[in-house]
Every structure is written in C-alpha cells, then in structure tokens.
Structure 1
Amino acid sequence: MKLSPNNPILLNSSLHVDEARKAISDLVIELIEESKKLVDPSNIELVPLDQAINRILAQDLLSPIDVPAADNSAMDGYAFNGNCLGVPEDSVSLKIIGTAYAGKPFTGEIGKGECLKIMTGAVMPTGSDTVIPQELVSAQCDTSIEFKRNLLKPGENRRLRGEDLQKAKPAIQSGRLLRPSDLGLAASLGVPVLKVYRKLKVAILSSGDELCALGQELAAGGIYDSNRHSLTGLLNRLNLEIIDCGIVRDDPDALKEAFCNAAKVADVLISSGGVSVGEADFTKQIMQELGDVGFWKIAMRPGRPMAFGTLKPITGQSTARRTLFFGLPGNPVAVMVTFYQFVRAALLQLNGATLTAPPITQAIAESAIRKKPGRTEFQRAILRRGQDGKPVVKLTGSQGAGILRSMSEANCFVILHHDQGNVTPGNWVDVALFDGLL
C-alpha cells in the first residue's frame, strides 16, 4: 500500500489494525534494503557480553566447543559397560574400582564386571556407557554393588558429547533480541563479546501550546508533557539511543525546523500530538513538504489518528537512508497503545531483529465490557488467578484515552477484535501481558 498523503484509501477510510501493521512492515523492509545498498560498516559493533542485554545479534553465534564437551553422567550413581545387562541372571554384581567427580575425570578404564562411582556431570570413563542411579542399587558396600538387571537399558543416564550443541553449529541465531539467558549461554561457551547491530537513534518530541515541561508552573489550561517520558521508558526497554527534542509549539516554522533537525541525526522520529484535524495541527502540512507520509484513521480504540511514513534525506544528515516517521496521537494512553501495537515491532525490525508475534493468552472476563463491532480495542486490565485457579481479568476502570492511570495500574491489554461485540461476564477474552519473565 502506497503511503502517500494523497492516497484516497488512507484519507477516506479507516484501516484495519492488521492492514496498518502490514503497511508499516512493508515500508520498514524497503528501508532495510536501502541501508544494505549503503554498505555502512558502522552498522555492526562488538560489545562485551554484560553490555549486550536487549541488543540484537548481528551474526550467528557459532559454538566454539561441543556441549557437553564429553560424554558425562546425567546423575549420581555407578558407571559401567551396558553389555553386562545382557546376561540371563536377574541381578548384576559389579566391583567398584574408583570414583569420578565433576571436573576430575577418572583416568583408568572400566573392565568386564567393574563399575565406577560417578557424580552428576563427571566424564564417563573409558569402557563405560551406562549409569545406574544410586537409589536403584539394591546392595552395596565399599567394594561392590548389586542391582536388578531389568531396571535399565544400555546407554541410559548418559549425556552424549555435543548433545546440546555441536562445535561450529549456531548456538544463537542472528536477529535475536538478546535476553539474560542468551548471555548466560554465550558465557557457558567461553564467548566474552558479541557482534550486535548498533543502536537505532530515535528522536522524540511532543507538540502543543498547552504542554509544560516538568519543573515549570502550569499556565491556565496547561498540562504537563507526559508523552516524552512514557516514550523514553518504552525506548529504554529496547536499549535504543534516544534523542529528546523536547516540546515544540504549535507553529509551522518551529515544527518544521524541529523535524529537519531530528531527521539529520536520527534513524527514526516519533512525535506525539498534531495528527488530528484541528486548526493548529500542522504536522500534515509539514510532512507533505518533507516526506512521504500517510495520515491514517485506524479502526482501533484508543489511537485512531496516526501518521506514518518517511522523511527525505536532508542536507547534513548523518545517513543517506530516509528517516522513519511516526506521528502518534496526543492522548497519553493512545501514545502508549500505538507504540505497543505498531512502533515497537517496526523499531525492532529496522534494527535487525527477527520478529515473532507477541504471545497471547486467554482469561475470563470478570465483568461486562461494551464493544462495538468494526474496530479493534485494547482495554487496559489486570490479569490474576481466580479462586478456582482459572485466569481472570478485570478492567482498570474508565478506559478514556487521556486517563494514564488506566495504563499505570494495568498489567495487560484485553484485546477485543475487529468483529467482536459486547463481552458478558464469564466470557473468555484474549489477553496480551505487558511484561515477560525474561
């Protein structure tokens, strides 16, 4: 779908949420292809492992070793050659010839009728392939053990060399948004540094004469600017470089200058406010001069008005790539909802991440929810476990787009889909959690 302001589809109809996501993703792919042609070596950097959290891996991490590095015992017990399990007798008796500890391999060899006391993680000695857990041994002393032959099969309770990871095979694939467990995995392979994509530079600004910065006294009719601080928190979670362009007044020249300055240094510009049809909303006029931007009505609540597209390269710009632009609504909740639903995925995709759909679960609605078919709604709610153990969800009160408390108290979105109608108590609804454990 062409993202031109003159596109009648974008001007005169409301886009389905999925259509908007597809159009955004398609344009991001265009920008990625453009950047490949620029052959910018600075796009990748080497960072110490402990600084790589929430960075995006730029190259497959190939395991430098086999994991495990040798066959080893999966539990505490006795290692022996499994061929002895083929004897016709009901019981097997074995002589103990030593002990193997994790990190202290036994240097001898297991012979016929012999076994070795072995600890979890210890290297399997030469001549052995099976481990009998200590608790399954029916008789033992310092020099021998006895156990029932039918308790296990040859090869049981042994971890094979390379069973988890094979040398030179990918341990973590390129495009991964690195989590704490990934850093632990890299460390377990002895890898001290990782190749990651450089952080995207994201400029943010708020527009509106009514906005006041923190620390200023509120003028008559004024409000404190919360949007930049919400966006800063959201962007910090993605470990991106933030350029705060502050508050810009409702003046076309000031807004144009701010957009141009941001485009010179940023990969992405996110503004809030100024995308509706008010007389003082100059964003559309300016973007028609500076870039290729669609002004959308999206069939969703909250966050119906939104602008999206690109700014053309500007003289003095640090990169020849076009600057990705998002013009978000001015209402605080709508800013966060549109960020979660559209901006976050686009930023990750542009920064080289392999995208996966966010997990959706289901819960039982505790109370009725009014909903008109024909739009997607993202209601703020609290998910918990009910007395019967089933997941239940309850809205955080009034769902107005300007009520930031509804986001602050929530831990999830209740997603009411495009064609869905009213929800009655006891209905199952789709739920998307704000935060994950990792």
Structure 2
Amino acid sequence: MTKPPMLTAQQALDHLLSHAKSVSQAESVPVQAALGRVLAEDVQSLVDVPPLDNTAMDGYAVRVADTSISSSILKIAQRIPAGSVGAQLEPGTAARIFTGAPIPAGADAVVMQEDCTIPEGSTDQVQVNVAPVTGQWIRRRGEDLAAGKVALTSGTFLRPQELGVAASAGLTHLSVKRRIKVAAFFTGDELALPGEPLKPGGIYNSNRDTLLACLKSLGCDATDLGIVPDRLEATKQALRQASKDHDLIITSGGVSVGEEDHIKPAVSAEGRLDLWQIAIKPGKPLAFGAVRKSDNPADGEAWFIGLPGNPVSSFVTFLLFVRPFILKLQGREEKLPQSYLMRADFDWSKADRRNEFLRVKVNAQGGLDLFPNQSSGVLTSASWGDGLVDCPPSQPIKVGDLVKYIPFDALLK
C-alpha cells in the first residue's frame, strides 16, 4: 500500500485554520486590565482628539499677515500654558504659547521659539525671524481621532499603544474576547521535573516550561496537567480531564507510531484524529483532532494538537501551527508573521528533502549566522538564536545568498 505524500507546512496550516472558529464570549474589563487581550467589538471615540487646535511646539502664536516679512516685531499680549485657553489674538500681537496649549482665536500659525528673539531691553516684545506659513506647527482639532469615529477595530490585539488610544478616546472599559483555555500535558516515562532525581535514561522535561510560557505569551489561560505515563488508559484519562473545561488540548510526545506512542489510539477512542506527517524539519509528526467533552454530543469538543517530543521540534511546531490556530480562536486579525530577506553568512550544503527551519542569529554585519548543531534535541540552538531561516526543500544555502528570515519576536506575540 502506497503511503500518502507528506503535507507541506502550508497545507497543514490551512487545514488547521479551516477548523478554527473565534470564541464568541466577551467580557468588559477596565482599560488598564486589557493588555494582551483581543478586542471583541469596534469602539468609537467619545471626543475629538485633540479637542481643540493646539500647538506642537513651544513658541509664539501669531497671525501670518503680521509676520509676512522676517524680523517682524510683535507685542507679546498674552501667555498660554497647556491647559489654558487664551483670548482673541489682536492684530500686531503674539501669544507666548507652550506645547499642547490651545491656539487662540485669530492666530493661524506658530513660530517655534528657536526662530524668535526678544529685543534687547524689552520685556513685552518678540522678534519673529522666520516668516511662517499658515497652519505651521498647529495640530488640528480631531486630527488624531474624531468624536464618533472608530478608534480601535474588533480583532485588535491590545498592546500598550492601543490602551493609550482607548484612554485618549475617553474610554474607561473595553469589550474583549474571553481568554482561550488551553490544557497541556506531556507524555514519556523518561521525563522528570527539575528538582527531582533523574533515573537511568531519564531527562528533565523542558517542553513543559517552553510550551506553557508560549501559551501565556499569547494571553491564554493555560492549565498544566503534568507528565502522563506511557500508558494508553492514563493518556485517555488525561484527555477526558483536559477536555471538560478547555478549548484546546496540546501535548508533546507520543505522536509517532511506536509501541509506546499512545496519543493516536487515545484520541481516536475519546474523539477523532487526523495524524499527519508534515514535510518539515524539525517537527515531522503532528496530530490534530478533537476530544469529546462528555458522552453527550451537545456538550461539544475540545480541539487537540499533538506536538513532537523533541524540544526543538515541539517549539518550532508550536510557533508554526499552534500559535496561528490560537490566534484564530482568539478572533485576532490574521497576520502572517513578519519575514525578511537577509544575507546568509553561512553555508548549508546538506539540504534536506523537507522544508527546513534553521536556527540563526543576526550578526553585527547585518547577516545571519547559523547555530552549528541543528539537531531537534538541541534546545540551546533556539535560545542562542533570534529567529528561523525558512529553507525550501532540497535547497542548499551558500554564503551571500538571500534567505527568508523569520524573527522569533514575530512568532511569540
């Protein structure tokens, strides 16, 4: 029997995303508590921002008609600090004005103080040394936000700058999508937690801390179900526990087809499963499916994604597949991770027939250095590096080639 061809990374991702649907539940939270959440609905500004024409510079508010020639001398008739509203500016006068202060009626330009001098011996005159143009250094009412207009759109991931926009629009609360609830467990009798003694053949479980941190960086409500023994019944029990109160279950390890790999039969028994072999390196095995929440079909399912056990494979497949799946569940605006064409300062002659993701670092010369050991078990390659090179199948790389670079910063938010 001929084995079906392995899916490409894009085919696998398209399949996952075709199933993901944004959660519908939302909650209202104070703006200060909305960092890292996803906006559930468009919000309109309650006010014009700025509320009045104001100055972008410290200087003097003037009438252009009074300063059409350089070295015009005007009487300083008033002083307007931020937070104050000046009087009508009379012809032949100027107003000393400070950044953010409203432009007085009658003024149509601001001359910054560096372009003005005070005549010797004078206390109430200013010499304007540069003839201004109409509108110079004036920020117009509503030029940032107009009252009643959309300030932030549904699906926006709320960073510090979005919270600032919400505050400037006069908003105290925002409607945000509820957090995605993800349960994670880790299979393998060889695994131990740091601090525990290692038995012969044992290793410490690095995937637990890596994947839980990835989930938290995406704003998920993550539940750690710990290490599950390599037993079919134990795996099924862990899936039943995880499915009850979660949107998504992720695991690492046990997704191959060996005698000690119980994920496939366990998920098949508790729900449904597609088991893929993806043509990527690291990270060929990946499982996707769903687990029943109960015996009552009306209770629905929790999505399931099983990742490989090798630490780099687990990390890379999370970034490439789990992250975009979660973003869609969150209702975030879909954005491809930023990538750049950058110069390779290394040779990679042993090109694989699979799509490879190589751990690299940007060097001081603006090129990319390659970590010398690209094994899927060497997690220090991901810690040392600051991104991945997306290397197409069977394509060697030579020094000086332009390659597709994806920074980790674009994959961990």
Tell me which residue corresponds to 1:51.
33
Q: What does residue 3 of structure 1 align with?
A: none
Bigger mean CA deviation after superposition, 179-188 or 228-237: 179-188
The alignment covers a number of residue pairs equal to: 410
CA-CA distance at 1:246 after TM superposition? 1.2
The one-letter amino acid of 2:137's match is N
Indicate yes or no: 2:401 matched with 1:424. Answer: no
Shift in alpha-carbon separation, 1:96–1:275, aligned structure 2, 3 A: same
Taking the TM superposition and a 5 Å limit, the aligned residue runs for 1:152-191 are 152-191=132-171
Query: How far apart are 1:214 and its partner, in Å?
Result: 3.1
Residue identity (%) = 36
Rounded Cα–Cα distance in structure 2 between residues aligned with 1:336 and 1:90: 65
> Which residue is equivalent to 2:109?
130
Q: Secondary structure at the match of 1:339?
A: helix
User: d(CA) in 2 for partners of 1:384 and 1:176?
Assistant: 33
Asked if 1:144 corresponds to 2:119, the answer is no
Correspondence for 1:5? none
Corresponding position of 2:322: 343
CA apart distance, 1:337: 0.2
Q: Provide the C-alpha distance between the structure 2 equivalents of 1:320 and 1:72, rounded to a whole number of angstroms.
A: 57
With over 3 angstroms needed to count, the CA separation of the structure-2 counterparts of 1:313 and 1:92, relative to structure 1, is same
Q: 1:261 aligns with which of 237, 241, 244?
A: 241
Please name the residue that 2:46 is paired with: 64
1:242 paired with 2:222, answer: yes
Equivalent residue of 1:355, what SS? coil
CA drift at 1:117: 1.4
Q: Which amino acid aligns with 2:49?
A: V
* Aligned equivalent of 2:63: 81
3-state SS of 1:15 partner: coil
Query: What does 1:275-290 align with in structure 2 at a 5 Å threshold?
Result: 275-290=255-270
Question: Is residue 373 of structure 2 the alignment partner of residue 398 of structure 1?
Answer: yes
Query: Which amino acid in structure 1 is aligned with residue 359 of structure 2?
Result: R
CA apart distance, 1:315: 4.1
- Which residue identity is paired with 1:298? I
Within the candidate set 3, 10, 15, 1:23 is matched to 15
Cα deviation digits, residues 277-323 of structure 1 (max 9, x gap): 21221221222223232111111110011011222342489x93421
| Structure 1 contact 264–316 (Cα < 8 Å) conserved | no
Query: Paired residue for 1:109, among 82, 88, 93?
Result: 88
Does 2:344 align with 1:365?
yes
Provide the rounded CA distance (Å) in 2 between the counterparts of 1:172 and 1:385: 38
Cα-to-partner distance string for 1:195-217 (whole Å, 9 max, x where unaligned): 21111110001112222233332
SS of the equivalent of 2:20 reads: helix
Measure the CA separation in 1 of the matches of 2:145 and 2:37. 23
Taking a change above 3 Å as real, the CA distance of residues 406 and 91 of structure 1, as seen in their structure-2 partners, is: closer
User: After superposition, what is the alpha-carbon deviation per residue over 1:37-94, rounded to whole angstroms, capped at 9, x for unaligned?
Assistant: xxxxxx2122233332211111223222111111001112211233446x6x666443
> SS of the residue aligned with 1:280?
coil
Name the CA distance, whole Å, in 1 between partners of 2:382 and 2:70.
Answer: 67
C-alpha displacement at 1:148, in angstroms? 5.8
Residue 358 of structure 2: aligned partner = 379
For residue 26 of structure 1, report the CA deviation from its aligned partner.
0.7
- Find out whether 1:214 has 2:194 as its counterpart: yes
Task: Could you tell me which runs of 5 or more consecutive residues in structure 2 were left unpaired when the two chains were aligned.
Answer: none
Change (3 A) 1:225 1:139: closer
Aligned-partner SS, 1:19: helix
1:362-413 deviation digits (Å, cap 9, x = unpaired): 3322221235364221111221321xxxx12112220111111111222211
Distance, in Å, in 1 between the alignment partners of 2:242 and 2:80 is 64
Describe the shift of the 1:277–1:115 C-alpha distance in structure 2 as closer, same or farther (beyond 3 A): same
Letter in 2 for 1:116: A
Q: Secondary structure at the match of 1:314?
A: coil
Q: RMSD across aligned C-alpha pairs, in angstroms?
A: 2.4
Answer yes or no: is the 8 Å Cα contact 1:365–1:393 preserved in 2: yes
The alpha-carbon distance between structure 1 residues 174 and 139, as it changes in their structure 2 partners (threshold 3 A), is same
Whether the aligned pair in 1 keeps the contact of 2:54 and 2:102 (CA below 8 Å) is yes
Aligned residue number for residue 407 of structure 1: 382
Which residue identity is paired with 1:187?
A
* 2:151/2:169 contact within 8 Å kept: no
C-alpha separation in 1, matches of 2:234 and 2:126? 86
Distance 1:282 1:90 in 2: 84
Q: Secondary structure at the match of 2:409?
A: coil
Distance in structure 1 (CA, Å) of the matches to 2:208 and 2:296: 26
The answer to whether the 8 A contact 2:181-2:220 is kept is yes
TM-score (norm 1): 0.87
- TM-score, reference length from structure 2: 0.92
**1:221-254 Cα deviation digits (max 9, x unpaired):** 2222221111111111112111111111121111
SS of equivalent to 2:388: strand
Compared CA separation, residues 182 and 247, structure 1 to 2 (3 A): same
Distance in 1 of aligned mates of 2:97 and 2:398: 60
What is the deviation of 1:147?
A: 3.6
Alpha-carbon distance in structure 1 between the residues aligned to 2:247 and 2:320: 20
* Equivalent residue number for residue 303 of structure 1: 283
C-alpha distance in 1 between matches for 2:162 and 2:146: 17
Instruction: Report the Cα distance in structure 1 between the residues aligned to 2:264 and 2:98, rounded to whole angstroms.
Output: 70
Which amino acid in 2 is paired with 1:325? F
The 8 Å contact of residues 83 and 154 in structure 1, kept in 2 or not, is answered as no
